[in-house]
Amino acid sequence: MPNPSAEALPSEIILIGAGAVGTEIAAAHLNVGCGVRVCDVSAEAIERLVSDIAARFPRLSVGQDAQLRLGNGNLHSRELAVASDLCSCAFDRVSASSPTEGFALVIESISENLMAKQALLVDLQAWLGKRAVLCSNTSTIPIHRLTAGLANPQKVCGMHFFMPVLERPLVEVIAPGLADPATLRVAIAHVQRLQKTALTVGDSPGFVVNRILAPYLNEAMRLLERGVAPEVLQDAALGFGMPMSPLELIDLIGTRTAFDAGRIYWQAFPQRLEPASVLAGMVKAKLLGRFAHRGFYSYENQRRSEQLCPEASSVVARYQRGSQSSLTVDQITWQLFLPMLVEADLMLLHAVVASMEEIETAVRAGLGFQRSDGFFYAFERFGANRIAEELMCRREQRSLTGFQVVVSRLRAARGKK
C-alpha cells in the first residue's frame, strides 16, 4: 500500500459521535498511533467510549472533560493524544480553541438523520473554516443531500467505515459531484494512514456495500417472518460465503441504524424492497443490538448466544405469519442473494462503480465475504441461464429492473476461464 504524502495529511483529526461505530473508529485511529479528538453531545456516551477504549488499551490514562462550543450546542470532548508507542497514549484535556496550524479533518458519525447531519456540517464549517475537510460516515444518505446549505460543499466527501471496523479493511470514499479533487486526496490519504483500503465510489443511496447489503438483510427478516428458523438463515448465509448470520450482522450494525438505513434505501428504490416489519418492533422493544448487549441475540463478554434472546423471540412471534416454512434451501438462497445481484448489476449499469472487480473488493473487504472465488462466482453453480430465469420471475413479481449487465458479464467471465 503506498504511503500518503505528508502534505496531504491533516494536522488534527476530529471525530463527532461516540456511539458504537464512533467508538470503533476511534479505536482504529489509536490502533495505528493516530491521535483523534472525540466529541459527542452526550457526556454519558463519552464515558462509555472512555471505558471501552481504556479496556482495549490498558495503559491509557484518562484526563478530565472539556467542553467545546460548536454553533448553538455544547460538545463534550476528550482528545486521544497518541504517541508513536501505542502504550503511551492518553486522553488529554481539550481547549475550546480552533485547531492548531494546518487543517482539520472531521469525521461525523452521528445518527443516520438527514437534518441532524446537515445542521452539524453547517456548524462545523462555521467553526473550523473553509480549510477543514469534512467527511461523513453516513451509511446510506447521498453526500450531495448533506451539503445543501453549505458555504463550501467542495470540502465535503463521504468516509464510510464498516463494522467491525478493526476487522474490515475497506473504507468507502464517496465522491459527490461538487467535491474538490484535493478533498478526495486528503480523505484517501487518511484512509491509507489507517492502513485500510480506500474504494472511491459514486454518490448514490447506500453507495456500494450498503446498497448491496440492505435488500439482503431485509429479505432475511422477511424470511424470519415467514417462519424460517434463525439457524437455517445462518446456514444459508455461511454456505454462500457470508461471515455471519444476517441477524447477527443487524445486531452488529445496530437495529436502529439498520432501520434508518433501510428506510433510506426503500425511499430511494421503493419498487425493489418490501420492508420487513419485525425490525421496527425490535427498535420499539429497545433491542438495539450488540452494543446494547441485546438485539436478535444476547451478548455477554463479547460472545453471542446460540439462540435468539427471549425478548427478541417474543418480538419475532408477533410478526410471524407462519409457524414453519416449506421453502427449500435453494429457495432461501435465491431470496437472500438474488437482490444483491440485482443491485450489483444496477450499480454497474449506472456507473456507481466502474467494474465487477470493485464490487468484489467492496463485498470481500467491506462485508467479509469469504469465498475465495468471489461474490459473482458464488452464483456459478446455478448457471447464467437459470439466474436470468429466476431474476425475470422476481422482476415480474416485484417490478424489479436491471440485471442484464451481470448476466452478460457472468457469461463472458465464464468463457474466459
Domains and CATH numbers, the chain: 6-202 (3.40.50.720), 210-417 (1.10.1040.50)
- Dihedral pair phi/psi, residue 373, rounded to 5°: -85, -5
Query: In this model, does residue 78 exceed pLDDT 80?
Result: no
Residue 410: its pLDDT value, please? 54
**At 61, is the pLDDT very low, low, confident or very high (cuts 50, 70, 90)?**
low
- Calculate the alpha carbon distances from 37 to 41, 54, 88, 107, 363 in Å: 14, 15, 16, 10, 30
Q: Hey, what amino acid is at 181?
A: P
Question: What angle, rounded to 10 degrees, do the helices at 329-349 and 384-398 form?
Answer: 80
Q: What is the pLDDT of residue 156?
A: 97
Whether the per-residue pLDDT at 358 is higher than 60: the answer is yes
Q: pLDDT value at position 89?
A: 27
Residue 372: predicted pLDDT: 87
Give, in order, the Cα–Cα distances in Å from 168 to each of 171, 209, 392.
Answer: 8, 12, 34
Exposure on the CB side of residue 162, measured as CA atoms within 13 A: 26
Q: Which residue has the higher pLDDT, 223 or 400?
A: 223
What's the average model confidence in pLDDT over 187-199? 96
For residue 6, what pLDDT is reported?
A: 46
Residue 83: predicted pLDDT: 34
Look at residue 297 in the predicted model and tell me its pLDDT: 98
Query: pLDDT higher for 46 or 210?
Result: 210
Mean model confidence pLDDT for the chain: 82
pTM of the model: 0.82
Whether the predicted pLDDT of 112 surpasses 80: yes
Strands 73-81 vs 90-92: parallel, antiparallel or unpaired: antiparallel
Per-residue confidence (pLDDT) for residue 345, from 0 to 100: 84
Question: For 255, left (φ over 0), alpha (ψ -120 to 50), or beta?
Answer: alpha
Q: How confident is the model at residue 188 (pLDDT cuts 50, 70, 90)?
A: very high
Give the pLDDT band of residue 82 (cuts 50, 70, 90).
very low
Instruction: Please state, in angstroms and rounded to a whole number, the distance separating the CA atoms of residues 13 and 133.
Output: 10
- pLDDT for position 75: 60
Q: Is 15 exposed, middle or buried (0-12, 13-18, 19+ CB in 10 A)?
A: buried
For residue 128, how many C-alpha atoms fall within 13 Å in the half-sphere facing its CB? 29
Strand locations in 196-345, DSSP E? 197-202, 299-300, 303-304
* pLDDT at residue 72 tops 80: no
**Beta-strand (E) ranges in 234-297?**
none
Q: Judge whether residue 158 has pLDDT over 80.
A: yes
- Decide if pLDDT at 228 tops 50: yes
Position 326 scores a pLDDT of: 78
Cis peptide before 275 (omega within 30 of 0): no
Instruction: Say if residues 66 and 96 touch (Cβ distance below 8 Å).
Output: yes
pLDDT for residue 407: 54
Tell whether the model's pLDDT for residue 269 goes beyond 80: yes
Mean pLDDT of 292-297: 95
Per-residue model confidence (pLDDT) at position 186: 95
- The string of DSSP letters for 323-384 reads SS----HHHHHHHHHHHHHHHHHHHHHTTSSS-HHHHHHIIIIIH----TT-TGGGGGGG-H
Provide the pLDDT for residue 94: 31
**Spatial CA neighbour of 2 closest among 182, 170, 166, 195:** 195
Evaluate the CA torsion angle 124, 125, 129, 131 in order and state its sign. positive
**376's grid cell:** 459473482
Alpha carbon distance 212, 196 (integer Å): 21
Stretch among 60-74, 103-117, 161-175, 191-205 having the lowest mean pLDDT: 60-74
159-167: average pLDDT: 94
**How far apart are the C-alpha atoms of 218 and 273, rounded to whole Å?**
8
Q: Averaged over 129-150, what is the pLDDT? A: 92
Q: How far apart are CA 271 and CA 267, in angstroms?
A: 9
Whole-angstrom Cα distance, residue 276 to residue 215? 10
| Mean pLDDT to the nearest integer, 34-45 | 82
